[in-house]
Amino acid sequence: MFQKVLIANRGEVALRILRACREMGIATVAVHSTADASAMHVRLADESVCIGPPKASESYLNPVAILAAAEITGADAIHPGYGFLSENADFAQMVEEHGFTFIGPSPEHIRLMGDKIVAKATAKELGIPTVPGSDGPVSNEAQAIELAHAIGFPVLIKAVAGGGGRGMTVVRAPEQLAESMRMARTEAQAGFGDDRVYVEKFLERPRHIEIQIVGDGKGNVVHLGERDCSLQRRHQKLVEEAPSPVIDAATRERMGSLVANALKKLGYRSLGTVEFLYEDGQFYFIEMNTRLQVEHPVTELVTGIDLVREQIAIAAGNRLSFAQKDVRFQGHAIEVRINAEDPRTLMPSPGKVTTYHAPGGPGVRMDSALYAGYTVPPFYDSLIAKLIVHDVDRAACIRRLERCLDEVVIDGIPSSVPLHQAIFATDDVRSGEFDTGWLGRFLAGWS
Ligand code: ADP
């Protein structure tokens, strides 16, 4: 096992990794920007190293600074968390070339899935159903028009290098296609440094269903069921749950084993999530994430498996500690993302948290790096806490969630707590009837 792990991240995920390390008897190194000198992950780590100024590109996204910190502190492995450098294949490769272990998949697998076109082609080859669309990048308008007519409008133009819900344009009518293509390419070049785009059928009312898998790179890949992440705004997840209200045990088993077997063929190592859109009983692959995900706790609560611990143990060369037959799903779990933002305008709202009180009691988990007196800096993602609750079934889980939302105190800055209260007061969400567009429509009418 590792002696010392460097955590190349911040916020709640840095704490999540730190906690797993502590319980495994592994020493931790926190890295931080000057803006995060008093952050909780820095306070709790065994050692810390300042790696640069507030701007992420000069700190959390700076491979050289992170490798230097690992070298100075004598860490044996680097955990990238999510976001930042977690899906940067070049970084993973640099980490290994410098003699450290990257706690994640092989650089080859990160690269394979990081290019959305290659990922989709790979999925197709492995027998996973994909969204109808172009098989490769679309470079000219004539090609796009021909394709759009073949698959039918509306279509979605997607940036090959897109991510985080950005780089997608819906086109509803043929006459808009040429102009939308030009704009999408310009935006993709500016946003991701890659102007390649591809075309996909735009599904009108899908649900977002994703399958969690874990592999040990030694031939074992197990699936841990699905998460339903259909409550999104601007293609970004806000609420996640497991199991999905629309997936039955037989479907879970069928899709889970399809995905697990596909990744077994690849010899996949570490955690991974295969994301699908689900409409009219059909699954369509959209992408694979080769990292720990924000919403991993809901899977932990329904399976009782510590995903981060498993991920670290596998990176250290261990085999999976359980087999598919050992995985049992129990009860229901929901996660709500609490952001430092105005619940109505959704504008980021950094600033000082004057009072902080986390909910507690049975089946409650609050993953957060907040404390009273902490100032949320304006430079990073606005996620400040994840409230995750578990109970015997979905109805009980919602009651528990509402109880917890009433208990949370985050004073000093606005947060998404009132939005979550409003979402869970609706009949649609209570009955589980929503698609990826539901939250956008709800927000448009919420006052
Ligand atoms: P990103 O990498 O930016 O997260 P994804 O491909 O994972 O992009 O898609 C994010 C979200 O965008 C999906 O959960 C879904 O809501 C929406 N989306 C993506 N592709 C389609 C599609 N073909 N039709 C309808 N919605 C889509």
pLDDT along the chain (447 residues), means of 10: 98 98 98 98 98 98 98 98 97 98 98 94 96 91 91 94 88 94 93 93 97 97 98 96 98 98 98 98 97 98 98 98 98 98 94 98 98 98 98 98 98 98 98 98 92
Q: 3-state class of 270 per DSSP? A: strand
Contact 319, 220 (CB under 8 A): yes
In this structure, which amino acid lies at residue 415? S
What number of other Cβ atoms are within 10 A of residue 390's Cβ?
24
Between the CA of 23 and the centroid of ligand 1 the distance, in Å, is 36
For ligand 1, pick from 436, 438, 441 the residue to mutate: most ligand atoms within 8 Å of CB.
436
For the entire predicted model, the pTM comes to: 0.97
Contact 132, 154 (CB under 8 A): no
Q: Is the peptide bond before 378 cis (omega within 30 degrees of 0)?
A: no
Q: Is the peptide bond before 154 cis (omega within 30 degrees of 0)?
A: yes
Q: Which among 64, 108, 60 is positioned nearest to 80, based on CA atoms?
A: 60
Beta bridge partners of 145: none
For ligand 1, pick from 116, 277, 293 the residue to mutate: most ligand atoms within 8 Å of CB.
277
Pocket of ligand 1 (CB under 6 A): 131, 156, 162-166, 200-203, 206, 208, 232, 235, 275, 277, 286-287, 436
Between the CA of 84 and the centroid of ligand 1 the distance, in Å, is 20
| CA distance readout (Å), 191 to 183, 184, 355, 369 | 12, 10, 37, 29
Residue nearest to atom 21 of ligand 1 (CA): 202
pLDDT at 182: 92
pLDDT at 141: 87
For ligand 1, pick from 86, 286, 289 the residue to mutate: most ligand atoms within 8 Å of CB.
286
Contact 108, 266 (CB under 8 A): no
- Which atom of ligand 1 lies at the shortest distance from residue 275's CA? 7
Contact 264, 206 (CB under 8 A): no
Residue nearest to atom 17 of ligand 1 (CA): 235
pLDDT at 447: 73
Between the CA of 335 and the centroid of ligand 1 the distance, in Å, is 20
- Which atom of ligand 1 lies at the shortest distance from residue 201's CA? 23
Between the CA of 435 and the centroid of ligand 1 the distance, in Å, is 12
236's CB contacts (< 8 A; 6+ apart) are 164, 165
Between the CA of 355 and the centroid of ligand 1 the distance, in Å, is 37
d(CA 232, CA 246): 17
Q: What is the DSSP letter of 281?
A: T
Q: ipTM of this predicted complex?
A: 0.96
Q: 3-state class of 234 per DSSP? A: coil
d(CA 108, CA 115): 11
Active site residues: 291
Residue nearest to atom 6 of ligand 1 (CA): 286
Contact 64, 92 (CB under 8 A): no
Residue nearest to atom 23 of ligand 1 (CA): 202
